[in-house]
Chain A
Amino acid sequence: MTSLRKVYDDHPKTVVFASGALIRILAALVFPRLPDLLTLRPEISTPVNSFKRLQEGLFLHERGLDPYDGGIFHQAPLLLSLFSLVPNPSSWIGRLISIVLYTGLDLLSADCLYSIADSGAGYKTRLFTSPRSDRVWKPISVAAAYLFNPYTLLACLGRPTSVFTTTLILLSISHACQRQTVTAAFALAMASYNSFHPILLLPPVGLLCYDRLCINSSNSQPFTTNGDTSFAPQNGIKISTDQRNHPQPLPFALKFTTTFTVFLTFLLLLSRLILPSWNFLPAVYLTPLTLPDLTPNPGLWWYFFIEMFDAFRSFFLGVFALHMLSYSVPFCLRFQKQPLVAVVLMMGVVAIFEPYANAGTAGAWLSSLGLVGHLFEGEYHVLLISYGPINVALVSSAYRYTFPALAALLYSTFLGPAFHHLWIYAGSGNANFFYAITLVWSLALLIILTDTVYSALRDEWEAERPEGKGKDVGQI
């Protein structure tokens, strides 16, 4: 026990990463039928990320046919080039190699989370230092929350290609935190190339990158780093006086967007080289917008559009797409002081509202909430309510409904597959059963999302007004 503890204390990162990798590979070895079973689960594999459909596309591609002809395959062309190098996953060795590849991706994601948490972008920004900065999660905890999250674990075994998107997004954020503008834009371009919706992260990631550049330029200034909350506003003033050194926002935005566009165009041209036609453009990037395939998934779109009258279809497709788009810029404006929070929230919006939602992306988002872990419950306040002659002490936390929301997630994780079974296989249920559970699932995720918004705003507000600490929302 003590020697184990010693090994852990000496090399925490090695131990956590090695055990995360070990768990994935062992699960694939001990339960050899599990990966193929998970590959077929609608909760993990959707029309735009299914590993099985990727094999279909690969089969067509290797025989010189256009993989996008059949209307089955909707994934990025460069994945075809990548997976043609990997042995066929129908044999056990091929399956193991594919699991090893995805394990590598997960380790990379965890490493990105580690470096993001290490950079301190979550609690200390250009304009703001969190009063809760003493409660920040250790980088290793954030990485562990990703590696041992059951949803990412299942997604790794089910091998949807959205895992690539997750890794690339996290890579982009970590580069943004390290002020590497070009590579951050490149990784984000690759993520958007892979599955379209990460393009919505362009504004928040750009903001994050800009924020880190500003911090760097004012680093020469003496900087109080202690977590004493009463100095936070003064800190803010001190930094804001130093704006001459900051890069100009508009040229920066232009540069960031141009880099992103150039890389994206480059990737698309590269794809055209390996394919016979431009067919892949509508197949990959119009699918999330026009929703031709209504295979059930844990998202909110499929059932709605099954029920939809054809006349209204395009109108509501527009409304749903605009709804997602509408969060991107407002989050940046409101969370100007905490750009990482804006990025994490936008990841949540994409994970919950994307047309082909899946449990893997949602799980990755839940894990990345560890980056803003200092906002979580733990900070309790004494709260006084004067009501007539009685003074009542109350307890409240910045995070309010974590446990009920997680319990709802647990319930929907169990009930979802059960209801899907009743609907599809047993024939004794119907589509409404599964849809009801996807609603519960989305509701639980949304509660967590709104709680994050609340606690981030509360944190910001308390930094401005320390005297408001502990006041109930109703009083503010």
Chain B
Amino acid sequence: MPLLARLLTLRNSPLLLQLPPFASALCIVVGIAWLFILPLDEYSRQTYVSENAILPGQVHTYFGGSEHNVFRAYRQEVYGISGWDERDRLNAVESVIRDIGLKPARQDYRYTVAGEDIEGTNLYTILQGPRADATEAMVLIAAWRNFDGQVNFSGVALVLTLARYFKRWSIWSKDIIVLIPSDSTYGPEAWVSAYHSTATEVTSSRNVSELPIKAGALQAAVAIDYPVGPWGHRFDKLDILYDGINGALPNLDLLNTAVSIANGQMGIGCSLHGITAHSDKYPDRLKILTKGVITQSAGHATGPHSAFMPYHVDAITLKTLGDGWHDEMSLGRTTESIFRSINNLLEHLHQSFFFYILLGAQRFVSIGNYLPAAMLIAGNFTVTALALWVQSGRAPIASSPKSGSTNKQLQEGQLEVVKTAGAIVLIPKQATRTVQRQLFVPVLAVLAVHLLGILPIQALNTLNRAYLSLGLRIIAAISYILPAFIAIILVRGVKVSRQQIQIMQSFSLLLLGAALSTLATLNFSLAFVVGVLAAPLSFVRPLSIGRRSSNGSDVAIAMGSMGRYGQYLVEILGALTWTAVSPPTVLYAMTWYFDKDMQWMLLEMAKGWHAQGVYTPLVIWSIWWPAWILGGIVLVAGAAERVE
């Protein structure tokens, strides 16, 4: 009983009620700091191949000798046709494929986004594995143009040479699909979505035509990005691109296989995110981590491999970097060895991690070590939501009597006599009275603002490209007016109480916390970035500027007018923070920081939404934006009361 009593006492102690803002702040600080300790040796691990069947680099590679001559001939051919128009070029590549002895197939695609047409043709062929039963396949990709828009001369030539070379082997127990899309993003996207589509007709919503020939379930895909002209160029490092759409990642075993083959068997150094000088020290690891978080939170394609991830096909892109002494044959032998390893697989890659953060080509952090960062940040909203809910159940915050004080005012009006079991006690009324919560208006407001989030998504994804930046400007202007407008309607028109505003904020933060912690399991980076940007919303409270001093906090009263001005200063700073960290301003800041054109970025976002299935805009406009607007309403509601 004494223990229980003590616990129950604790439940009502004023200290506990003042704790939540600090607990929230602690969650945020620890969550952010968490990410910074991950690059340390104690929190990250050396990568290792965990699937037994892969056996990376255990086979001798025979790609070489006269294949080099074939490669040079193909490269010359590819260079020769690169100036031709689309149709002739496709015919020429098709005839090369036919000469190899394979059956070529085509797929046209066309996406229309913001008044812009993205069109092209995927050319592909299926090499039937001599020991395969057409149930499994692996994909070898070389896009005609690489991700930066250069013609992928050597990449396409290498893929054709490899196709010719692979055809002579009798060891393939999976079919090999050789895919040559027109571009690096939308071609693979169209192809892989048609490959997995059950519809027999043209997929009308995406303007993707069906595939004339198919093989079995795709086990893995490897893309080659080697945009070097007919005179050749020796490269230094192999950059491995691994981020999929919406921050999905390939199984770590595929990456490990590529790294261990390139490094161990061929002696080619590997890099990530184009950082070739990697010392494996803290700053470099942190740099790779940051780059990974940024690309994964954007969620857009980073190469031909990205489109495969949503379809549960592990894929990577090998991209050559720098000046060195490795030639195309080393790249060819690396690819051969990777395909031999994938060929060994008995079941779909599943053994290793799907959720990881890479710190270098051979160092990673597993999900158990990094997930708490995003969960803590999402949890801070839930903590504040619970605190606001509890607070809203208490009497209006007219003036909070301090416990144990013998204030005169307290003795007169605030005490209540309670008789129980022979004992008579005086207790502060505030501790006993719990007001009935009025839920209807807060729930309606939260729902309505979240529904409004559909409008910016619709606008930014359907407007013509010429009006995109104007659209964002209008949305930004409306975003800043809307909170004040709604707050005045709520306070003046509907006459909501302070308590209802609190409940509204509580629901909004609860929803934000639940949505972000769900998102953290799907796309950690995006959840983390949005969580950090939305973090100030936990500390938004109605402005008290201009209200009578009794309405201010105890500290302010105690410190007199100077304290009051100090409080105003804090509030103004808070309001400025709220203004600064809004979805539109963050978008503007991003274009400024990365030195990009606003229209270009919005067009890319619209393309990502329509053609790639990126859900980042949904997260921004229907999770973060409504929470930010509701935060603004809470902020302005205090000032609106005063004006009244």
Contact = CB atoms under 8 A, between A and B. Distances in A.
A382 B426 CA distance: 12
Interface centre among A378, A382, A428 (most CB of B within 10 A): A428
A347 to B, nearest CB: 24
A414 B514 contact: yes
B16 interface: no
Contacts of B418: 382, 384, 393
Contacts of B348: 427
B5 A395 contact: no
B5 A392 contact: yes
A385 B5 contact: yes
B518 A410 contact: no
Given A380-B432, A419-B521, A422-B522, A410 B511 contact: yes
A426 B248 contact: yes
B83 interface: no
Contact of B436 (A378, A382, A403, A407): A378
Interface stretch (B7-15, B54-62, B480-488): B7-15
A415 B310 contact: no
Contacts of A470: 420
Given A386-B423, A428-B354, A428-B355, A411 B8 contact: no
B354 A407 contact: no
A414 B425 contact: no
A472 B12 CA distance: 14
A384 B420 contact: yes
Nearest to A397: B434
A41 interface: no
A426 B423 contact: no
A422 B5 CA distance: 45
Nearest to A433: B521
A384 B436 CA distance: 22
Contacts of A391: 423, 425, 427
A387 interface: yes
B415 to A, nearest CB: 11
A12 to B, nearest CB: 13
A299 to B, nearest CB: 21
B522 A394 contact: no
Give chain B's interface residue range (CB within 8 Å of chain A). Answer: 35 or more
Given A391-B423, A395-B434, A426-B310, A1 B493 contact: yes
User: Which 6 pairs between the two chains have the least Cβ-Cβ distance?
Assistant: A428-B354, A393-B427, A427-B312, A414-B518, A380-B434, A387-B5
A472 B8 CA distance: 10
A395 B432 contact: yes
Contact of B8 (A1, A394, A426, A428): A394
Nearest to B431: A393
A459 to B, nearest CB: 18
A394 B421 CA distance: 16
Given A392-B9, A403-B389, A407-B510, A384 B425 contact: yes
A411 B517 contact: yes
A223 interface: no
14 contacts: A385-B8, A387-B5, A392-B9, A393-B12, A395-B434, A407-B386, A410-B514, A411-B518, A414-B514, A418-B518, A421-B522, A422-B521, A427-B312, A429-B354
Contacts of A387: 1-2, 5-6, 9
Nearest to B436: A378
A474 interface: yes
Interface in A462-476: 470, 472, 474
A384 B8 CA distance: 11
Contacts of A426: 248, 310, 312, 354
A404 B350 CA distance: 36
Interface size class of chain A, counting residues whose CB lies under 8 Å from the partner chain = 20 to 34
Interface string A415-436: 1001101100111110000000
A384 B421 CA distance: 10
B432 A407 contact: no
A472 B354 CA distance: 50
Given A392-B5, A426-B310, A407 B431 contact: no
Interface of A: 1, 378, 380, 382, 384-387, 390-395, 397, 403-404, 407, 410-411, 414-415, 418-419, 421-422, 425-429, 470, 472, 474
Contacts of A380: 432-434
B386 A394 contact: no
A427 B350 contact: yes
Given A380-B434, A427-B350, A392 B8 contact: yes
Interface string B245-281: 0001000000000000000000000000000000000
Contacts of A427: 312, 348, 350, 354
A391 B354 CA distance: 56
Nearest to A421: B522
A474 B522 contact: no
Contacts of B521: 415, 418-419, 422
A394 B312 contact: no
A203 to B, nearest CB: 35
Contacts of B555: none
Contacts of B416: 382
B475 interface: no
A149 to B, nearest CB: 12
Contact of B12 (A394, A397, A418): A394
B532 interface: no
B90 interface: no
Given A394-B11, A410-B510, A427-B350, A382 B427 contact: yes
B432 to A, nearest CB: 5
B457 interface: no
A390 B425 CA distance: 10
Contacts of B8: 385, 392, 394, 472
B515 interface: yes
Contacts of B350: 427
Nearest to A135: B436
B173 interface: no
Contacts of A378: 436
B423 A384 contact: yes
B576 interface: no
A380 B248 CA distance: 49
B101 to A, nearest CB: 34
A415 B510 contact: no
Interface in B336-370: 348, 350, 354-355
B432 A393 contact: yes
